[in-house]
Amino acid sequence: MCGYHRPWVKNELGRKAAEASKGASTGPDRPRIRQQEQAMTRAVGIDLGTTYSAVAAVQAGEPVIVPSPEGGRLVPSIVAVGRTGERLIGEMAKRQRMLNPEDTIYSVKRLMGCRFTDQSVQTDSKRLPYRLTEGANGDVRVMMGGRLYSPPEISAMILRKLKRAADDYLGEEVTDAVVTVPAYFNDSQRQATRDAGTIAGLNVLRICSEPTAAALAYGMHKEQGTTIAVYDLGGGTFDISILEAGGGTFHVKSSSGDTHLGGDDFDERIVDWLCKQFAEETGIDLRQYVTAMQRVRDAAEKAKHELSSLEETEINLPYVVTDEAGAKHLVITLTRGQFESMILDLIKQTLRCCRQALADARLTAGDISEVLLVGGSSRIPRVQEEVQEFFGREPRKGIDPDEAIALGAAIQAGMLSRELDDVVLSDVTPLTLGIRTVGGIATPIIPRSTPIPVSKTRTFSTAADMQRSIEVLVYQGERELFDENTMLGCFTLTGIPPAPAGEVKIDVTFNIDADGILNVTARDKSTGNEKELTISASSGLSREEVEQAARDLEVRDSASLLLHRAEKILQGLNDGAGELKQRIEGDIASLRSALQGQDLLSITSAVQQLSDSLQPAAVAACHQSAPARSEGNQPTG
């Protein structure tokens, strides 16, 4: 959740800062640059998305998107192990996934903080080309390159790439970041995101809700008495948040959403339709062919994008499969109307979340002053039409919906690192918190959309005669039965005096502080005896596993950078350095082989060996590239 921090003293815009920002893109009214020395370390904002991710930083008082190494503004949230064992991230991973679908991991955000037995995970496992399995502690693991990884480890590889891009762009190492998550993420999903940041070598200053970040990017905190609805439809998740803004403050009134609803699901509707059409025409089930299905998924995503600007598009996949009768081609036209009919129920599902958020905020659609559309899937014309009709007003535009969240995260990072004036943020609990009572019932203590910080107490009684202890099981979720929600923790209050059932009264207090930390206390009213538990959300990884994953990623990332440098130096060596070239090629092969194993010491040793070989090679390459000069062509002083 976007936490709360003391407001810093605001300063007037300094003359130099004003000159630096003069003539820059004005856009929405954003926080001003502070007239003070720059913070000791720079902080960036990161939107860790389902399909694409982005990193942004504050420059001269304005948030800007940091370009990727490939020159784009977004990085595909895709990780793969190539045929040679090399780890590929972003655009490179996306380019090869058609030929290597089983070792190409995407949409991993939908698996963050989830249990393998979750219904959503079981549904995803049937459509994903890569393998999902259960970890030792019940969490999800993905198979890539013959090795199992946790979702936070995969996400960390994406974060690491974004960190490297920010390092290069800013000319200094970045260690601090604000990372965004869907407002409807539960505690385990938020902790999984934090763990991913730690593994990537980042100090996560704040986990910020995506809708709040988007509202910051639009400068809504400068409005007076504005009630905002942020409709965030991304690649794999949906959020709706109702906020009140004005006078440098943000107050989140309510949030709702679905962490398994987004552009991926729209793509899957097209995929289902294509498979059905092809089966009716040929009798062949495309889902039995992994490579063919990846081509179909890529074509479905492309068609979805094209139908945002075209009334119809042709899907043409020659040689999609081959059987005894020969090659089969998939050629079909999809109209915008057909696509809209496929996804209309999903759009209506987002509107049900909007109704819930309005009800929780005790507002109507007519009370909303501004509607912001965020997330790439909000570009779909039918989505825009339905949202406009629901709220009765045209959504505000002006910022790329794919970039708004990263820009807003950069603004908050700038506030936390004292580069920008502060904005006071107050959030709500995204999901109900409570305990298990007799019969396995989930009894709420703090309802969803309750402003925090907050403290609430409910009194319970013993359920049996002569009961000497009471077990307190804490949950998060909206289901009536405890077992259908997410269990956060448990503890036992002992030493209860023997008495008939119902006579001993126990006060159970839930206290959430400004940083979203939950403390649960059970107190025997007759004796004063009490027991307290601080809820520490788990991503499924232990502290030791997080630390080990961080070391692993650091070593492998350094090795990959060295391999890239070695390839460049090799290209610069001429035939006269044959022996040196042969030695370097051997060291490169040794390092590539070590990277395919799990022994970090072997990788480190191979890195050192290659690094030693590159030192004379770099000198030789430098001498070869220097221009030759004859004695008669000396420079004049």
Contacts of 51 (CB under 8 A, 6+ apart): 76, 77, 106, 107, 234, 235, 236, 263, 264, 376
Other residues' Cβ atoms within 10 Å of the Cβ of residue 164: 20
* DSSP 8-state symbol, 481: B
What is residue 32's predicted lDDT score, i.e. its pLDDT? 46
**How many alpha carbons fall within 13 Å on the CB side of residue 633?**
4
| Domain edges within the chain | 263-343, 433-535, 543-623
What is residue 148's predicted lDDT score, i.e. its pLDDT? 94
Dist CA 241 CA 184 (whole Å): 9
Q: Is 402 a catalytic residue?
A: no
How would residue 576 be classed by pLDDT, with cut points 50, 70 and 90? low
Other residues' Cβ atoms within 10 Å of the Cβ of residue 495: 11
Catalytic residue from among 210, 223, 427, 545: 210
Contacts of 398 (CB under 8 A, 6+ apart): 27, 28, 218
Residue 117 to residues 132, 238, 623, Cα–Cα distance (Å):
11, 22, 61
Place of tokens 């079909």: 332
* pLDDT tens-place string over residues 304-362: 999 999 999 999 999 999 988 889 999 999 999 999 999 999 999 999 999 999 999 99
What is residue 337's predicted lDDT score, i.e. its pLDDT? 97
Dist CA 520 CA 472 (whole Å): 9
Alpha helices in 283-422 (DSSP H): 290-306, 336-360, 381-391, 404-416
DSSP states of 530-571 as a string? EEEEEE----S--HHHHHHHHHHHHHHHHHHHHHHHHHHHHH
Dist CA 556 CA 591 (whole Å): 10
Say which CATH superfamily domain 433-535 falls into. Answer: Substrate Binding Domain Of DNAk; Chain A, domain 1 (2.60.34.10)
Q: Provide the terminal-to-terminal Cα distance of the chain, rounded to the nearest Å.
A: 65
Dist CA 153 CA 193 (whole Å): 10
Dist CA 347 CA 52 (whole Å): 21
* pLDDT tens-place string over residues 260-281: 999 999 999 999 999 999 999 9
Q: Report which listed range, 356-360, 569-573, 615-619, is most confident.
A: 356-360
Catalytic residue from among 62, 94, 102, 109: 109
* pLDDT tens-place string over residues 105-141: 999 999 999 999 999 999 999 999 999 999 988 899 9
More confident residue, 534 or 15: 534
Dist CA 518 CA 454 (whole Å): 10
More confident residue, 630 or 8: 630
Q: Is domain 263-343 given the CATH code 3.40.50.10860 in the classification?
A: no
pLDDT at 220 over 80: no
Query: Among 332, 338, 336, which Cα is nearest to 311's?
Result: 336
Q: Is 587 a catalytic residue?
A: no
Contacts of 351 (CB under 8 A, 6+ apart): 386, 387, 390
What is residue 603's predicted lDDT score, i.e. its pLDDT? 86
Pick the CATH number of 543-623 from 3.40.50.300, 3.40.50.920, 1.20.1270.10, 3.40.50.10540: 1.20.1270.10
Dist CA 277 CA 592 (whole Å): 44
Helices and strands (H, E) in the chain, number of each type: 14, 27
Query: Among 461, 460, 427, which Cα is nearest to 445's?
Result: 460
Dist CA 126 CA 121 (whole Å): 9
Is the alpha carbon torsion for 471, 476, 478, 484 positive or negative?
negative
Q: Is 47 a catalytic residue?
A: yes
Dist CA 404 CA 217 (whole Å): 6
pLDDT at 9 over 60: no
Q: Is 545 a catalytic residue?
A: no
Ranges 122-126, 403-407, 598-602: which has the least confidence: 598-602
What is residue 425's predicted lDDT score, i.e. its pLDDT? 80
How would residue 596 be classed by pLDDT, with cut points 50, 70 and 90? confident
Contacts of 20 (CB under 8 A, 6+ apart): 33, 60, 61
pLDDT at 24 over 60: no
How would residue 170 be classed by pLDDT, with cut points 50, 70 and 90? very high
How would residue 197 be classed by pLDDT, with cut points 50, 70 and 90? very high
Catalytic residue from among 176, 232, 301, 370: 232
Dist CA 569 CA 614 (whole Å): 8
Ranges 14-18, 50-54, 241-245, 463-467: which has the least confidence: 14-18
Residue 455 to residues 250, 511, 512, 520, 521, Cα–Cα distance (Å):
21, 4, 6, 10, 11
Q: What is the largest CA-CA distance in the chain?
A: 111
Query: Among 477, 394, 382, which Cα is nearest to 429's?
Result: 477
What is residue 345's predicted lDDT score, i.e. its pLDDT? 98
Domains 263-343 and 433-535 share a fold: no
